[in-house]
Structure 1
Amino acid sequence: MSKKYAVIIVGGGIVGATAACALAQAGIDIALIDAYKPPRDWPADPVDIRVSALTHASQNILQAVEAWPAMVERGVGPYDHMHVWDADSAGILDFDAADTEFSELGHLVENRVTVASLWDRLETLPDASIIYPAKVADIQLDSTSAHIVLDDGNTLEADILIAADGRDSVLRQLAGIQTTGWEYKQDGLVATVSTEKHHQFTAWQRFLPEGPLAFLPLKNGQCSIVWTLSHQTAQKYMALTDEDFLQNLEHASDGVLGEMQSVGPRGAFPLRFQYANQYTAEHFVLIGDAAHAMHPLAGQGANAGLLDAAAIAELIINAKLAGRPIGSHKLLRQYERWRKGDNLAMMSSMDVINKMYSVQYEGFRQLRGTGMSWVNQSGWLKNYFNRYAMGLRDDLPAFARD
């Protein structure tokens, strides 16, 4: 006999666990399915190489689901300044929290900190069931509900099935939803480094011919780097000794943080532009990377996913309060209209910027630098970009608002 839930969420990462918390604390019967249970504690060192720059809007969402206090206890790293410059021109951009009503632009948080804190919260909610270790073997979607077959043969049913299982989403494929996109032929090389100079709670980003190099300030004084490189260069750098890698990194950084002193484990991940052609099917919805994968140059992937989670949770909660069916076609189409346009706008902006900085024609490089400096000197335009990057824009889900 199939067990029935109001909502089943597959994928217990940042986005899926946030949606689960938001729904369960509103009294909606949910099940969260994941292949494993994430760790709750770990040694102080090394820092996890998977780090997200969370915006003010994302912080609001995580506060609303009551995960933020545990995140602060485990450790979050505020940053109040961002300095961006072009290696091939005189262009610079500076963003400062002093130009906003907030004390910081955002927070750098290890992904494991966010996930552990969300699971802590989820386990306190009586309307949440966590099913692990478990994988989905098959799904059937019809006009009345979603049916799930797990790899152990058990079956589940829900009014709505939410797929939060990443950019290679198995559920998206099982639902027959196609994607559009391309490989960037670039890798994001990530690591944690110690530098001679303190990061000054500043996110530093230098645009280089192969892609941007970012130094993201961590709470312990180290920096998390995200270095976009061609696939060939990234693999070459992965094979270097620590000493040789640090020499290349110091040269690429233009010495902005002085000598590169040490580096932890390195990882390199292929980058992709990808979006689902539809976000929904019968009683089925995609959120997070299952719906969209974007270039990491502005660190907006996790933030876009959190807005997806907040949006679908708001719509489901409002439908339940109004006595309407939570898996209706009307509700799912409303979610897709709400989030798809915003996500595509962000993705396309990141794609254009990435391609723009790969152009090596001299005249274009100078024009690019002039444009950066003009934006930097234009108070209202820079403030618009700053607030947009912080997630402070129109049409935010209620969970994301102050």
Structure 2
Amino acid sequence: MKETFDVIIVGGGMVGATAACALAHGGIRVALLDSHNPPRQWPQDSVDIRVSALTRASQNILECVGAWPAMVGRGVCAYKDMRVWDAKADGELHFDCAETEYNELGHIVENRVTVASLWDVLETLPAATCITGAKVADMQLLEQDARLQLDDGRQFQADLVIAADGRESFLRDQAGIDVTGWPYHQDGLVATIRTEKPHQATAWQRFLDEGPLAFLPLRNGQCSIVWTLKTETAQACLQLSDEAFLQQLESASAGMLGKMLATGPRAAFPLKFQYANRYCERHFALIGDAAHAMHPLAGQGANAGLLDAAALAELIIKTRQAGRPLSGHQYLRRYERWRKGDNLLMMSAMDALNKTFAVSALPFVSIRSAGMNWINHSDMIKNYFNRHAMGLRDDLPRLARKQRCW
């Protein structure tokens, strides 16, 4: 016997869970499927190795769906400044929240904090059902509905299936949607670091020969690093002793936070530029990393995914309120037009930045450095970059503007 819902979301990470919360608030009967039940509690002194730099727009979304208070309770870290250097020259950028109307530029939040808080909300919403402990084995997109079969034999049907199942999306393949992109032959090495100097509620980033090194402030005074390296360099760093790794990191940081005192576990993940050629099919849509994967140098991947979730939820709720069936394809095409261009623009900007800082020819380095310093001394241009980095741009979903869509 098949269980029936209006919408089924596959993937219970922060993007999928945000979409589920928004839809359930709007009275849409939604099922959230994930192979695991995410942890809600952990040792007080532990830190998740994966963090996200959440923008003001993302905070607005999470406040609207009800997750933000629990996130603050579990621990978030506001960052008030951002400092960026070019290691090859004297180029520098400094962004300060004092130049905006806000008390911070954004928040660094452990991914597990966001996910746990969203799942807490889902438990309180009558229209939401969380299903864990099994994976999707097959998907059929039929004329009248979409059908899923799990590897334990359970079957489901819905007017719409939303794939939030990550960069290597199984459902995207099942729907026959191709991707375009290329590997960067770089890995993002992540770890939690204790430093000699305090982080000063500042996000620090230094562009090096192989890629940027970022120190992101954490609530416990430590920093989460994201270090872009050639794949072979990153894998070699994983094999180093803690002491040898800290020495290498200290040298790369040029003493921006003093001595590197201790490191937690390290991990590295391959980086790629990738986008789905279509965001939707009959009874089917992609959000988050299933739709796009971008370079992490500006930390915009999670924020782009949350905007996807907010935009699609808004259109689904609006379609239901208008009395139109969720099986219609028109609102899905509107979602694709709304989000694909914005995502491609952000992805292309990150790709261009990565390639720009990879050039080591001296004349180009001098021009690049001069450009950074020119931007740094132009209030109008800095304000534009500031607002864009905070997610405060045109054509945002209502949730991102702190307005409910239900």
**TM-score strictly above 0.5:** yes
SS in 2 for 1:93: strand
TM-score (norm 1): 0.99
SS in 1 for 2:244: helix
Structure 2 CA distance for aligned equivalents of residues 287 and 217 of structure 1: 28
2:121 corresponds in structure 1 to: 121
1:172-219 superposed Cα distances (whole Å, 9 cap, x missing partner): 001010000011100000000011100000000000010000000001
1:68 corresponds in structure 2 to: 68
Structure 1 CA distance for aligned equivalents of residues 105 and 62 of structure 2: 16
SS in 2 for 1:176: coil
SS in 2 for 1:337: helix
Q: In structure 2, what residue type is equivalent to 1:396?
A: L
2:156 corresponds in structure 1 to: 156
1:329-353 superposed Cα distances (whole Å, 9 cap, x missing partner): 1010000000000000000000000
2:359 corresponds in structure 1 to: 359
For residues 136-285 of structure 1, the aligned pairs below 5 Å read 136-285=136-285
Structure 2 CA distance for aligned equivalents of residues 142 and 343 of structure 1: 29
Structure 1 CA distance for aligned equivalents of residues 357 and 79 of structure 2: 25
1:87 corresponds in structure 2 to: 87
Structure 2 CA distance for aligned equivalents of residues 164 and 16 of structure 1: 5
TM-score (norm 2): 0.98
Structure 1 CA distance for aligned equivalents of residues 59 and 326 of structure 2: 26
Structure 1 CA distance for aligned equivalents of residues 246 and 334 of structure 2: 49
Structure 2 CA distance for aligned equivalents of residues 228 and 284 of structure 1: 34
2:310 corresponds in structure 1 to: 310
- Following superposition, the deviation at residue 293 of structure 1 comes to 0.4
Unaligned 5+ runs, structure 1: none
- What is the Cα-based RMSD across aligned positions, in Å? 0.7
- Following superposition, the deviation at residue 297 of structure 1 comes to 0.2
Structure 2 CA distance for aligned equivalents of residues 45 and 300 of structure 1: 27
Structure 2 CA distance for aligned equivalents of residues 276 and 378 of structure 1: 37
SS in 2 for 1:357: helix
- Following superposition, the deviation at residue 327 of structure 1 comes to 2.9
Q: In structure 2, what residue type is equivalent to 1:401?
A: R
Structure 2 CA distance for aligned equivalents of residues 197 and 350 of structure 1: 29
SS in 2 for 1:200: coil
Structure 2 CA distance for aligned equivalents of residues 135 and 243 of structure 1: 40
Q: In structure 1, what residue type is equivalent to 2:343?
A: N
For residues 128-139 of structure 1, the aligned pairs below 5 Å read 128-139=128-139
- Following superposition, the deviation at residue 399 of structure 1 comes to 0.4
**Contact 1:80–1:97 (Cα < 8 Å) also in 2:** yes
- Following superposition, the deviation at residue 142 of structure 1 comes to 2.2
1:20 corresponds in structure 2 to: 20
SS in 2 for 1:59: helix
Structure 1 CA distance for aligned equivalents of residues 377 and 254 of structure 2: 23
SS in 2 for 1:189: strand
1:94-135 superposed Cα distances (whole Å, 9 cap, x missing partner): 001001110000000000000000000001111111111121
1:106 corresponds in structure 2 to: 106
SS in 2 for 1:52: strand
For residues 331-370 of structure 1, the aligned pairs below 5 Å read 331-370=331-370
- Following superposition, the deviation at residue 45 of structure 1 comes to 2.6
Q: In structure 1, what residue type is equivalent to 2:255?
A: G
Structure 1 CA distance for aligned equivalents of residues 342 and 292 of structure 2: 11
1:27-68 superposed Cα distances (whole Å, 9 cap, x missing partner): 110111000100000012331110000000000000000000
Percent of aligned pairs sharing the same letter: 67
Q: In structure 2, what residue type is equivalent to 1:369?
A: S
SS in 2 for 1:275: strand
1:11 corresponds in structure 2 to: 11
Structure 1 CA distance for aligned equivalents of residues 326 and 295 of structure 2: 33
**Contact 1:46–1:264 (Cα < 8 Å) also in 2:** no
SS in 1 for 2:256: coil
